[in-house]
Structure formats: structure tokens, C-alpha cells
Amino acid sequence: MLSAAERETGLTDWGGDAYFEADFRRLLEAMSYSLRHESNLTRQGRAGADLRLAALLEARLEFIDDRKRQTEITRQPITKPMFIVGLPRSGSTFLHTLMSQDPANRVPVTWEMMLPSPPARDDRDAGTRIARVEGILASMGLQTPEILALHPFGARLPEEDHLMTEIGLLGDNLPAVWRMPAYNKQRSATNNAVMFALHRMMLQTLQHGRRGERVLLKNPGHIFNLGPLFAEYPDALVVQTHRDPAKVIPSVAALIVMMRTNSSDDRPPPEKVAQGNVRAFADGLGKAIVFRQQPGMTQRFCDVHFRDLVTDPIRTVERVYTYFGLQLSRDAREAMQRWLADPAIPIADVEAALEALVKRGTLDVRRVPGSAAIYMNRRR
């Protein structure tokens, strides 16, 4: 795989110590072993893995070459990046995409995080990268109706920023899609500071040519790594989303089971996946509570509850902006309202939440602002 990537790109520098090459090679060896011997991949799953890893390895070579040739990338400042964290399935994707409508927010989308080279200003500069990413997602079974009903995957869509660390084989998505015990063991032995150092490097590349924009990122998994996150970004702003875990865990388990099923003959029992997630997030949230009790952290975290978000999205965004002393412009507000009014947006989780609130008698549809009432009427 390494030789094929070198032939395809004409590049041979995998980064050395500056890009944690030793960790990268250990992780690649462990992942290769897992995919051959532990993942029980189907023919389609093997094809999807081949495409994803080929793109990832080529992206690493090109990313490192960009930074060597355009040294100004390495001097890009990243100031007060905003991270949305918390339980998965707690409205973070909805909030992230809603806030991405603000032109002042720099929100990386899937294709540029997976294939960041050369740095592009927008989709028009992407060349064939968008089509390549769409093909990879389809080959991995991530664009079936069942998957998209739980999480919208698409080359042009905002996505969790763990994609930015896949150049170091440290993303969260791959071990969710494929069963990889050997890889997970090696991943656990890798210092999370490596992940965030690569994360900053990638942000610099994605920010190149876009000075002045505010970076907005999302990844529920950061709840496990608040210490390393703030060590790398001492001025970070964090929005933590909250939702009843009894609603969250079944949805998480369903998504993981379906992603695995689409690429493997491995059929993980949903209850086992759910129990593993309960233990992991209980531990992660417990550590987050302790972390947030440190001096100075109160003003760095803004809490958003799922119910508030789905019943009044714009007011929720206003509260986040006010909390952090940011300006919500008229253009941004109007763009968010247009997005909310679009019946084609992926809002399955929001609709389900609204429906559940109505059934419990805790929500009067007639009092739901704007688009939420439209969603409920359409669902009926």
C-alpha cells in the first residue's frame, strides 16, 4: 500500500519525526493485520477498505509535501477554535450544520478533510476530489438509506473533525466501520497529543488562504480528550450538547451495527455495542465533569440541551453566540432560517425527537417556531 501511494503521487517522504511517522507505521501495520485477520470483510468491504486506505495514504504524502513547499501553511494561526462535543446523537450534527450557514464560520467538509491537498478555497477548486470521496463513501456502504437516516454522509457535508487525523491513522470512524482489536490496542498505546498535533497541522492547511474566519468543528469523541484538546488549543471554545442517554445509546448502537454489517460478515450484537458505549461515555462524561471544575473553565463551555435545540434552533444559536461574545449577523441569521426552511435537509433525528415530545404531551406543535412545526406537519 505504501509503495502504491508513492507510485501514484510521485512522493516518498512520509514525514519523519515531525509528522510522527513511527506511530503512523505502527498503526498501519496493526490496521492491516486487523483488516486481514479480524474484520471478516466481505468482498465489498475489502474493496471499500482498499479505496479508503489508498486515498488516506496518498493524502498523507501530498499533505506533507504541501507543507514543505508552502512553508507559510506552517505559520497559519488558529485562534479560538470552537468545538461542539458531547454525547453522539445529541443534536451535535444538526447544530454544527446549522451554524455552518454563518459565513463567518469556517466549517471543513468531508472531501477537504479526507483529501486536503492542494488547499482549496471552495468546491470549485476541488477538481475530482469530490467525486472520489463520494465513491469511497458509497463503496463503504455509508450512503444507504438506512445509514443516511441516522447520519448524513456526503462529500460536500460538514463532518466530524476526526477525519482530519486520519493522515495519522487516528480517526474515530475507521474503527467504528471495521472490527479491529489489534489496531485498537495499538491506538490505545498512542499518545493523544499526537492526534491533536496532527489536528492543528491539518487545520493550518484547511485554513490556508482563509484568514479571518472562525473555525467551527464538531466531534462527540473529544469529550474523552478535553485535556489534550486544551493543551493544543488553550483558547478553545466548547459547546457541549446534552441528551437523555436512554435516547442516545440505542441510536449509536444501531448506527455502528449497520456500518459494520454493510462491510463485513461480522454481526456485532446490538446489546453488546450498547453496553460498550454506556461504559465508555459514562467514563468520558465523568472525566469531563471533573475537567470542567478547573478554574477558568466555566466561561469556556456553553451547554446546549437537545430539547432546546430542536424546539427553538435560532434562539439556541443566539445563546451560544452571546455566551462567547460573538456577533450573529443578520446575513447569518437569514442563512440559518433558509436552511431550516429547506424540506430536503437531513433532519431525521430532529423529526423523531419532535414526534416523541408531542406523544409525551410535553410539546405543543402550534408553539414550535418556524421550521420545526413544518417538519412535524410533514411527518404526520
Q: What pLDDT is attached to residue 260? A: 85
Q: Which residue has the higher pLDDT, 275 or 6?
A: 6
172 backbone dihedrals φ, ψ, rounded to 5°? -85, -20
Range of 95's domain?
Answer: 2-346
326 and 361 share one domain: no
124 backbone dihedrals φ, ψ, rounded to 5°? -65, -25
Q: Return d(Cα 2, Cα 5) in angstroms, integer.
A: 5
Per-residue pLDDT of 107-141, as tens digits, reads 999 999 999 999 887 778 888 999 999 999 999 88
CA angle at 219 for the pair 99 and 106, rounded to the nearest 5°: 40
The b-or-e profile of 310-330 (16+ CB within 10 A means b, else e) is bbbbbebbeebbeebebebee
Q: What is the mean pLDDT of residues 210-233?
A: 90
Per-residue pLDDT of 80-110, as tens digits, reads 999 999 888 888 989 999 999 999 999 999 9
CA angle at 44 for the pair 38 and 50, rounded to the nearest 5°: 70
Q: Return d(Cα 184, Cα 193) in angstroms, integer.
A: 17
355 and 296 share one domain: no
Q: What pLDDT is attached to residue 237? A: 97
Q: Which residue has the cell 441569521?
A: 333
Q: What pLDDT is attached to residue 333? A: 96
Per-residue pLDDT of 36-83, as tens digits, reads 999 999 998 999 999 999 999 999 999 999 999 999 999 999 999 999
Per-residue pLDDT of 177-217, as tens digits, reads 899 999 999 999 999 999 999 999 999 999 987 765 789 99
Cis preceding linkage at 108, omega within 30: no
Axis crossing angle, helix 348-359 with helix 245-261, rounded to the nearest 10: 140
89 and 110 share one domain: yes
Q: What pLDDT is attached to residue 232? A: 97
Axis crossing angle, helix 21-37 with helix 181-188, rounded to the nearest 10: 160
328 and 291 share one domain: yes
Read off the CATH number of the domain in which 237 is found: 3.40.50.300
Average pLDDT, the chain: 87
Q: What pLDDT is attached to residue 245? A: 83
376 and 317 share one domain: no
Sign of CA dihedral 348, 351, 353, 359: negative
Q: Which residue has the cell 505559520?
A: 75
252 and 380 share one domain: no
Long-range contact pairs involving 356-364 (C-beta distance under 8 Å, separation at least 24):
356/247, 357/307, 357/310, 357/311, 363/311
Q: In sequence order, what E strands does the chain have?
A: 82-86, 105-106, 214-218, 237-242, 301-305
Collapsed DSSP state (helix, strand, coil) of residue 265: coil
Q: What pLDDT is attached to residue 63? A: 97
User: Which percentage of the chain shows pLDDT scores above 70?
Assistant: 89
Q: What pLDDT is attached to residue 51? A: 95
320 and 268 share one domain: yes
Q: What is the pTM of this model?
A: 0.86
Q: Which residue has the cell 470521496?
A: 133
Strands 237-242 and 82-86, bridge-based pairing? parallel
First and final C-alpha spacing in the chain: 51
Q: What pLDDT is attached to residue 339? A: 92
Per-residue pLDDT of 299-313, as tens digits, reads 999 999 999 998 999
- Mark out the alpha helices in 154-305 (DSSP H runs): 173-177, 181-188, 192-207, 226-232, 245-261, 270-292
- Tell me the C-alpha to C-alpha distance, in Å, between residue 158 and each of 88, 107, 339, 342, 349: 15, 7, 14, 17, 16
370 and 337 share one domain: no
Q: How confident is the model at residue 371 (pLDDT cuts 50, 70, 90)?
A: very low
243 and 366 share one domain: no
Q: What are the residues whose beta carbons fall under 8 Å from the beta carbon of 142, sequence distance 6 or more?
A: 153, 177, 259, 262
300: its cell numbers: 469556556
Q: Return d(Cα 156, Cα 19) in angstroms, integer.
A: 27
pLDDT higher than 50, residue 372: no
pLDDT higher than 50, residue 317: yes
Q: What pLDDT is attached to residue 351? A: 45
**Low-confidence winner among 2-6, 82-86, 275-279 (lowest mean pLDDT):** 275-279
Q: What pLDDT is attached to residue 253? A: 82
338 and 199 share one domain: yes
232 and 379 share one domain: no
265 and 374 share one domain: no
Q: Return d(Cα 374, Cα 135) in angstroms, integer.
A: 33
Query: Contact 132/181 with Cβ under 8 angstroms?
Result: no
Q: What pLDDT is attached to residue 357? A: 43
Q: Return d(Cα 143, Cα 134) in angstroms, integer.
A: 9
Q: Return d(Cα 338, Cα 116) in angstroms, integer.
A: 29
**Low-confidence winner among 285-289, 311-315, 349-353 (lowest mean pLDDT):** 349-353
Q: Return d(Cα 10, Cα 373) in angstroms, integer.
A: 55
pLDDT higher than 80, residue 364: no
Collapsed DSSP state (helix, strand, coil) of residue 106: strand
What total of structural domains would you count in the chain? 2
Query: Contact 155/244 with Cβ under 8 angstroms?
Result: no
pLDDT higher than 50, residue 363: no
